[in-house]
């Protein structure tokens, strides 16, 4: 039995001797490499926090003390140390979540995945503890250098500093990287420290001082004296100290004795204290350490020996965007691109390499990205901001008031729109259409395939008097779906066969949003088999919904909308409003994501559960039509001038 297999919770960890700990760390690394290689997941970040997480659970007493991992992608070691050893279905339906999950363990208090919130959570929990007479409990926020670029983290630190009597530990897990190296003034500050030749010496001094010092008080004084002495070297303390926060460190985040000593000091300190730990992402795994670009921040299934991806390479939406935006960059010198710490994942690597002065990584700062883009557009540029759809949630106010109110030509490209699946409830990009539908003047396009992505991106950057948004999902882009016709700006993808009776009203107008087109076409075939004639259209520019839909709708008996956005406030509801405003009282079915937080599972599994597949759409449509026919007093809409076939 390995030491790791003997750990069912933090008490077992605390029962181990100091000599056991390096062996446990090695067990954990072996486990992470072999298990995450099978499923995929956040391998690099977790390899980097093995010792840090061991030390945290040795010094703090979870769940009595609360440990909040910012973003939560680095919580695998925490899962192992709190008794969760079955990683065989990590991020898969029914398996362990890739993030903290309250359903899994009492040691997971916060469910996250969006960055820069841990300091706020910790401030709130600590204050609640104090006001409820539980101030003996400790609250720890573990936040990465990347997450520390997010404004919300600093809003919290500013506020925490205003409460010097509030015990609260903030561990800065500084590995110098977000996905790629962390960018910005703070990052430069930290990087200067790490690359300073005197830093190693300072770390060594810290190690010796910690080991020599007999008690916490002495140690604390020793650390203070040291910090004063090497102020020019250990500069980050100034940053935190000037805010009014006690600073401990830097400490080598892979040195277990030094980490535990420092955390014990922090535990005993009666106010807010920052512990600055220097770690290495991907630590102990050659292929991750050698991955210059992202140090295996997140991987799919890999060969554990070589680290090579086991997934066949396929054309995905991101690559199509990457190619097209770079081509457009060559034609338009006013085109600039912006990423919030995710240049690789959103497909801006190629653009950044081709046009380094026209690419901006702003850190995990979606709000700033949008308002900065507004400023750039004001100055005559056309910014393209590429984000995961879920992270746009952060910047609604900026889109509304900084972009739209000023009618500024900025294009926001939303990757991972719709169901993303395996990253759980908070990663689905299922609210963008609901939010964006409320923004005056803003237009949203949803490409259905690679060809329309290219065309719509081109159209979006031609709009010079309003913001535009493009949204597409995660994963493989299917074959191109050519339109049969374009009618009043609407692409017609399918028409009923002549035997269905072309000169009569068609049964169903199926309005497909973006990547739902393939499923809608499959549904049309199935409906045809049930004797239901269908027209499938793709409006391409889906919000505001084109008014021309009305003219087409009246030639049908039923309207069905299909989108991978929340049903609440999506395109379906907008179509419904459009038809009502036009005085059309026709039966309308909105197929979309229910208003819920979908549990982690694959995208395809979730789409199938939600009925957003060809068979699901056909089933819902036939069921609804027959129900409507038996329950409706008026039968088919009387407003339909073409009605009368049945
Ligand atoms: C609001 C938000 N924007 C973007 C992301 C995507 N993201 C996930 S992890 C990560 C980098 C985090 O870096 P850091 O906090 O230093 O953690 P590390 O992976 O280095 O341990 C980013 C940008 C996110 N989770 N939340
Ligand atoms: C934690 C986070 O926000 C990202 O790392 C995300 O999990 C990556 O998702 P993809 O795998 O879809 O790029
Ligand atoms: Mg980092």
pLDDT for residue 137 is more than 50: yes
Cis peptide before 52 (omega within 30 of 0): no
Same domain, 92 and 200: yes
394 belongs to the catalytic site: yes
603 belongs to the catalytic site: no
366 is in an annotated binding site: yes
Q: pLDDT-derived band of residue 202, with 50, 70 and 90 as boundaries?
A: low
Of the candidates 58, 227, 281, 443, the residue annotated as catalytic is 281
What is d(CA 622, CA 630) in angstroms, rounded to the nearest whole number?
A: 12
Residue 453 is part of a domain; what is its CATH number? 3.40.50.970
Please state the rounded mean pLDDT for residues 99-124: 97
Same domain, 449 and 514: no
Q: pLDDT-derived band of residue 635, with 50, 70 and 90 as boundaries?
A: very low
The CA 197 to ligand 2 mean position distance, Å, reads 34
C-beta separation of 338 from 360 below 8 A: yes
Closest CA to 385 of 350, 335, 423: 335
C-beta separation of 491 from 540 below 8 A: yes
CB atoms within 10 A of CB 632: 11
Same domain, 466 and 552: no
What is d(CA 240, CA 234) in angstroms, rounded to the nearest whole number?
A: 12
Ligand 1 atom with minimal separation from the 48 CA: 21
Same domain, 424 and 326: yes
Q: Is residue 638 part of a domain?
A: no
Q: Is residue 450 part of a domain?
A: yes
231 belongs to the catalytic site: no
C-alpha distances (whole Å) from 486 to each of 61, 447, 489, 493 are 65, 15, 6, 9
Same domain, 545 and 404: no
Give the count of domains, the chain. Answer: 3
Write the pLDDT tens digit of every residue in 400-422.
Answer: 999 999 999 999 999 999 999 99
Contacts of 334 (CB under 8 A, 6+ apart): 380, 381, 382
Question: Which of helix, strand or coil describes residue 644?
Answer: coil
- Average pLDDT, rounded, for the chain: 91
Same domain, 516 and 407: no
Q: Is residue 351 part of a domain?
A: yes
Question: Which of helix, strand or coil describes residue 588?
Answer: strand
Write the pLDDT tens digit of every residue in 501-545.
Answer: 545 689 999 999 999 999 999 999 999 999 999 999 999 999 999
Q: Is residue 480 part of a domain?
A: no
The beta-strand segments (E) located in 7-162 are: 66-69, 139-144
Q: Is residue 639 part of a domain?
A: no
pLDDT for residue 356 is more than 90: yes
Same domain, 256 and 331: no
Ligand 2 residue neighbourhood (C-beta within 6 Å): 71, 73, 113, 298, 345, 416, 420, 423, 474
Write the pLDDT tens digit of every residue in 73-103.
Answer: 999 999 999 999 999 999 999 999 999 999 9
pLDDT for residue 227 is more than 50: no
Please state the rounded mean pLDDT for residues 61-66: 98
C-beta separation of 413 from 467 below 8 A: no
Range of the domain at 545: 485-631
Same domain, 622 and 515: yes
pLDDT of amino acid 505: 82
Q: Which residue, of 471, 498, 519, is where some domain finishes?
A: 471
Q: Is residue 640 part of a domain?
A: no
Mutation to probe ligand 1, out of 73, 115, 174 (largest number of atoms < 8 A from CB): 115
Q: For the complex shown, is ipTM > 0.85?
A: yes
Q: Is residue 301 part of a domain?
A: no
114 is in an annotated binding site: yes
Same domain, 531 and 584: yes
pLDDT for residue 203 is more than 60: no
Q: pLDDT-derived band of residue 244, with 50, 70 and 90 as boundaries?
A: confident
Q: pLDDT-derived band of residue 629, with 50, 70 and 90 as boundaries?
A: confident
Q: In which residue are the tokens 């070691």 written?
A: 77
pLDDT of amino acid 212: 54
Write the pLDDT tens digit of every residue in 587-599.
Answer: 999 999 999 999 9
Same domain, 328 and 246: no
Q: Is residue 180 part of a domain?
A: yes
525 is in an annotated binding site: no
Of the candidates 79, 84, 138, 394, the residue annotated as catalytic is 394
Same domain, 388 and 497: no
pLDDT of amino acid 225: 41
Same domain, 266 and 351: no
Write the pLDDT tens digit of every residue in 331-342.
Answer: 999 999 999 999
pLDDT of amino acid 229: 42
What is d(CA 120, CA 250) in angstroms, rounded to the nearest whole number?
A: 23
406 is in an annotated binding site: no
Ligand 1 residue neighbourhood (C-beta within 6 Å): 45, 71, 73-74, 113-115, 144-147, 173, 175, 177-179, 281, 297, 340-342, 364, 366, 391, 394
Mutation to probe ligand 2, out of 423, 424, 425 (largest number of atoms < 8 A from CB): 423
């Amino acid at each position: 039995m390995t030491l790791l297999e003997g750990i069912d919770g933090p008490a077992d960890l605390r029962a181990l001797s100091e000599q056991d700990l390096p062996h446990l760390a090695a067990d954990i690394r072996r486990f992470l490499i072999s298990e995450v290689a099978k499923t995929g997941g956040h391998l690099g970040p977790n390899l980097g926090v093995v010792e840090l997480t061991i030390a945290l659970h040795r010094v703090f007493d979870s769940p009595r003390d609360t440990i909040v991992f910012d973003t939560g992608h680095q919580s695998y070691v925490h899962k192992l140390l709190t008794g969760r050893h079955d990683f065989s279905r990590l991020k898969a339906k029914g398996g362990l979540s890739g993030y903290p999950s309250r359903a899994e363990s009492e040691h997971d208090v916060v469910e996250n995945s969006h960055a820069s919130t841990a300091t706020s959570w910790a401030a709130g929990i600590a204050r609640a503890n104090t006001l409820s007479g539980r101030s003996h409990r400790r609250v720890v926020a573990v936040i990465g250098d990347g997450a520390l670029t997010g404004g919300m983290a600093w809003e919290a630190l500013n506020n925490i500093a205003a409460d010097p009597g509030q015990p609260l530990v903030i561990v800065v897990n500084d590995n110098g990287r977000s996905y790629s190296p962390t960018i910005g003034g703070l990052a430069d500050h930290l990087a200067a420290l790490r690359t300073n030749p005197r830093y190693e010496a300072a770390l060594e001094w810290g190690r010796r001082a910690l080991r020599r010092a007999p008690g916490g008080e002495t140690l604390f004084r020793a650390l203070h004296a040291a910090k004063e002495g090497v102020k020019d070297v250990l500069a980050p303390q100034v940053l935190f100290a000037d805010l009014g926060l006690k600073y401990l460190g830097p400490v080598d985040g892979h040195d277990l004795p030094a980490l535990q000593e420092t955390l014990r000091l922090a535990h005993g300190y009666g106010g807010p204290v920052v512990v600055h730990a220097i770690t290495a992402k991907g630590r102990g795994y050659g292929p991750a350490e050698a991955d210059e670009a992202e140090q295996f921040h997140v991987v799919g299934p890999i060969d554990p020996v070589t680290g090579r991806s086991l997934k066949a390479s396929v054309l995905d939406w991101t690559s199509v965007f990457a190619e097209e935006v770079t081509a457009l960059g060559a034609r338009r010198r006013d085109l600039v691109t912006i990423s919030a710490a995710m240049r690789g994942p959103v497909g801006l690597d190629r653009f950044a390499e081709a046009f380094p002065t026209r690419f901006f990584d702003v850190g995990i700062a979606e709000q700033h990205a949008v308002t900065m883009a507004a400023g750039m557009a004001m100055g005559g540029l056309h910014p393209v901001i590429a984000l995961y759809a879920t992270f746009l949630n952060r910047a609604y106010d900026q889109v509304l008031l900084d972009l739209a109110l000023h009618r500024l030509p900025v294009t926001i490209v939303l990757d991972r729109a719709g169901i993303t699946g395996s990253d759980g409830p908070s990663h689905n990009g299922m609210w963008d259409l609901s939010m964006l539908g409320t923004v005056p003047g803003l237009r949203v396009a949803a490409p259905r395939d690679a060809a329309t992505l290219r065309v719509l991106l081109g159209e979006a950057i031609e709009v010079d008097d309003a913001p535009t948004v493009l949204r597409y999902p995660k994963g493989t882009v299917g074959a191109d779906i050519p339109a049969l016709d374009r009618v009043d700006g609407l692409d017609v993808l399918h028409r009923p066969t002549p035997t269905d009776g072309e000169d009569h009203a068609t049964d169903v107008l199926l309005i497909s949003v973006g990547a739902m087109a393939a499923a809608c076409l499959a549904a049309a075939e199935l409906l045809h088999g049930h004797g239901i004639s269908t027209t499938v259209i793709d409006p391409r520019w889906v919000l505001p919904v084109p008014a021309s839909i009305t003219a087409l709708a009246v030639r049908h008996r039923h309207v069905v909308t299909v989108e991978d956005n929340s049903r609440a406030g999506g395109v379906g509801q907008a179509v419904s409003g459009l038809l009502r405003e036009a005085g059309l009282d026709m039966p309308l079915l909105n197929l979309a994501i229910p208003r819920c937080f979908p549990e982690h599972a694959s995208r395809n599994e979730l789409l199938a559960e939600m009925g957003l597949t060809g068979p699901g759409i056909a089933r819902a449509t036939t069921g609804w039509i027959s129900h409507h026919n038996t329950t409706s007093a008026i039968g088919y809409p009387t407003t339909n001038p073409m009605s009368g076939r049945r």
